[in-house]
Amino acid sequence: MHIWAQLLWSGVLTVLCLLVHGLGIVAITRLLRLEEQRLRKKDLGMGAFLLLTGLALCVFLLHAAEIAIFAAFYVVADILAGFDDALYFSAAAYSTLGTTDLALPDAWRLVGAIEGVAGFLLLGWSTAFFVTDMNVLLRDKPPER
């Protein structure tokens, strides 16, 4: 595949994942009611543990959906044979692990490399989101009276 086609498809998939991620972060914030004032009032204990666990699970599912977007592309474009192989390759590329027994054909290898960059950025975005909420919950408590 011509390099411009690889760049085009990589761009489309990356933008799609960015949209999914941004909307997912907003949905998670609303679902778990992660407003700063609410987090500051929350006592440390089982409730805080469950909230952080729920947050981590939601973010994990968000990344799983983004990995599945790339995997579906690999199958639909007939780049990889089955969804299981495509999902495995996509997870390795997205997480920047990059060491699998599978490889994209030379004509599509740039898409896999760009998936790694997109995954790196999206994982960083999630880390910042998680740490910010966790910091408010655990550290920024109002003084006791």
Q: Which pLDDT band holds residue 15 (cuts at 50, 70, 90)?
A: very high
pTM, to two decimals: 0.87
In the numeric block, the tokens 């009611």 are attached to 33
Q: Which residue has the higher pLDDT, 99 or 58?
A: 58
Domains of the chain, CATH where assigned: 3-138 (1.10.287)
In this prediction, residues 17-36 reach a mean pLDDT of: 91
- Spatial distance between the Cα atoms of 68 and 56, rounded to a whole number of angstroms: 18
- Spatial distance between the Cα atoms of 69 and 64, rounded to a whole number of angstroms: 9
75-122 pLDDT, tens digit each:
999 999 899 999 999 999 999 887 778 889 889 999 999 999 999 999
Q: Indicate the Cα dihedral angle 116, 61, 69, 81, nearest 10°.
A: 90
**Mean pLDDT score of the chain:** 89
Per-residue H/E/C for the chain: CCHHHHHHHHHHHHHHHHHHHHHHHHHHHHHCCCCHHHHHHCCCCHHHHHHHHHHHHHHHHHHHHHHHHHHHHHHHCCCCCCHHHHHHHHHHHHCCCCCCCCCCCHHHHHHHHHHHHHHHHHHHHHHHHHHHHHHHHHCCCCCCC
Q: Which pLDDT band holds residue 16 (cuts at 50, 70, 90)?
A: very high
Q: Does residue 44 carry a pLDDT above 60?
A: yes
